[in-house]
Amino acid sequence: MERRSDKPIKVTEVCLRDGSHVVAHQFTVEQVQKIAQGLDEAGVHYIEVSHGDGLGGSTIQYGRSLVNEMALIEAAVAACKQAKVAVLLIPGVGTVHELKQANKLGASLVRVATHVTEADVSAQHIHLARELGMEACGFLMMAHSAPVDKLVEQAKRMESYGAQAVYVTDSAGALLPEGVRERIRALRDSLDIEIGFHAHNNLSLAIANTLVAIEEGATRIDGSVRCLGAGAGNAQTEVLIAVLQRLGIEVGIDLYKMMDLAEDIVGPILPHAQEINKGSLVLGYAGVYSSFLLHAERAGKRFGIDPRDILLEVGRRKAVGGQEDLIIDVAQEWAQIQRAGV
Ligand SMILES: CC[C@H](O)CC(=O)C(=O)O
Ligand SMILES: [Mn+2]
């Protein structure tokens, strides 16, 4: 494969953050410690640890964490000899207070996440991270939902605030390969910093899309071991490593160690196998936030309706991250419509 960048590829493992959605934010210290140690020993570069919705996400709206995320960050840092511990922060959900705390505990990279059209709210947190000596990246969520020129404009803002990389974040797993190609290519042509890509596997395209991103110059790549991420999960890290090796792209991660971690440690803690079921497929099809899946399934049970109807309507309304309460509104309205036989 011809790559547009000759920089080494750095992998960020997101199972201890994006995967938090799958376990309804119930990770234990022991689980985090074991998984972080396994990832570190395998040679993974960055391990992201936070509530699924980022620092400060433990709320009634998003779901309460079993264990305070600071204790989980501390456990991950203690378990790592070479890997850097990263955190995700959505401005407003997380604050500078939590960022400083996470940094004190040893987190050395923050990804400041905003909706794809709202990069301006990341300025304060990116500036602070750089002042603290942390690495700072921008994370433009729901990247499928904005035209390419808008994405470029927003990414440039993040670059101007001091971001060292900007991610195309396919939160809904809705992007098709050509959509990834045009987005990464446009960013590569317009920015001087690294480009990252974060996939979700709802349309079974996470690995394929990640390869397109790498071809077009992305060097920061996300994966989740055993697909432990929201919806149908992310690019499955151990599979991605195997595919990259077959392509002759060496990222310095031990494939057998990743496979063993997936099989022996991560597999047993999954509440169910991470497959593309009807719910996750609808996420990709309708362009809905992957982290909305559990909320829609719960609302479906509560109101006696099909979660797919909720997700399709949420997609029609173009819900953005943080609008989990809209899921309840939609479910309630849908149930009323069905009762009325309209
Ligand atoms: C709600 C935050 C979200 O899970 C961040 C992320 O991983 C994404 O947008 O895909
Ligand atoms: Mn995600």
Distance CA 232, CA 280 (A): 6
| pLDDT for position 342 | 65
Residue 228 sits in the same domain as residue 90? yes
pTM of the model: 0.97
Within-domain flag for 2: no
- The answer, yes or no, to whether any atom of ligand 1 lies below 6 A from the CB of 145, is no
Q: Which atom of ligand 1 is nearest to the CA of 229?
A: 7
% of the chain at pLDDT higher than 90: 98
111 alpha carbon, closest ligand: 1
CATH at 296:
1.10.8.60
Show which residues are catalytic. Answer: 21
Residue 177 sits in the same domain as residue 307? no
Within-domain flag for 287: yes
Whether residue 53 has pLDDT greater than 90: yes
Residue 282 sits in the same domain as residue 227? no
Which residue puts its alpha carbon closest to atom 6 of ligand 1? 171
Residue 51 sits in the same domain as residue 176? yes
Q: What is the mean pLDDT of residues 322-341?
A: 92
User: Between 278-286 and 293-303, two packed helices, what is the crossing angle to 10 degrees?
Assistant: 120
| Contact between 245 and 31 (Cβ < 8 Å) | no
Domain boundary among 213, 246, 269: 269
Of 189, 235, 211, nearest in space to 18 by CA:
235
Whether residue 338 has pLDDT greater than 90: no
User: Between 69-79 and 29-42, two packed helices, what is the crossing angle to 10 degrees?
Assistant: 30
Of 166, 162, 96, nearest in space to 125 by CA:
96
Model confidence over 68-79: pLDDT tens digits? 999 999 999 999
Residue 287 sits in the same domain as residue 223? no
Residue 144 sits in the same domain as residue 104? yes
3-state secondary structure of 13: strand
Q: How far is the CA of 291 from the centre of ligand 1 (A)?
A: 7
Residue 300 sits in the same domain as residue 203? no
CA 297 to chain centre: 20
Residue 289 assigned as binding residue: yes
Model confidence over 182-212: pLDDT tens digits? 999 999 999 999 999 999 999 999 999 999 9
Residue 339 assigned as binding residue: no
Q: What residue numbers bound the domain in which 98 lies?
A: 10-269
Residue 192 assigned as binding residue: no
Domain boundary among 269, 298, 319: 269
Residue 185 sits in the same domain as residue 282? no
Domain boundary among 218, 236, 269: 269
Q: What is the mean pLDDT of residues 270-284?
A: 96
Q: Which atom of ligand 1 is nearest to the CA of 52?
A: 4
Model confidence over 108-164: pLDDT tens digits? 999 999 999 999 999 999 999 999 999 999 999 999 999 999 999 999 999 999 999
Which residue puts its alpha carbon closest to atom 1 of ligand 1? 53
Which residue puts its alpha carbon closest to atom 10 of ligand 1? 171
Residue 53 sits in the same domain as residue 143? yes
- The answer, yes or no, to whether any atom of ligand 1 lies below 6 A from the CB of 171, is yes
Distance CA 168, CA 218 (A): 9
Residue 258 sits in the same domain as residue 282? no
Residue 159 sits in the same domain as residue 291? no
Q: Which atom of ligand 1 is nearest to the CA of 14?
A: 7
Q: What total number of domains does the chain contain?
A: 2
Number of Cβ within a 10 Å radius of residue 273: 9
Within-domain flag for 300: yes
Residue 47 sits in the same domain as residue 153? yes
Distance CA 304, CA 115 (A): 31
| pLDDT for position 341 | 83
- Residue 318, phi then psi, degrees to nearest 5: 55, 50
CATH at 41:
3.20.20.70
Q: In the structure encoding, which two tokens stand for residue 268, read together?
A: 């047993």
Kindly tell me the burial class for residue 43, based on how many C-beta atoms sit within 10 Å of its own C-beta (0-12, 13-18, 19 or more): middle
Mean per-residue pLDDT of the chain: 97
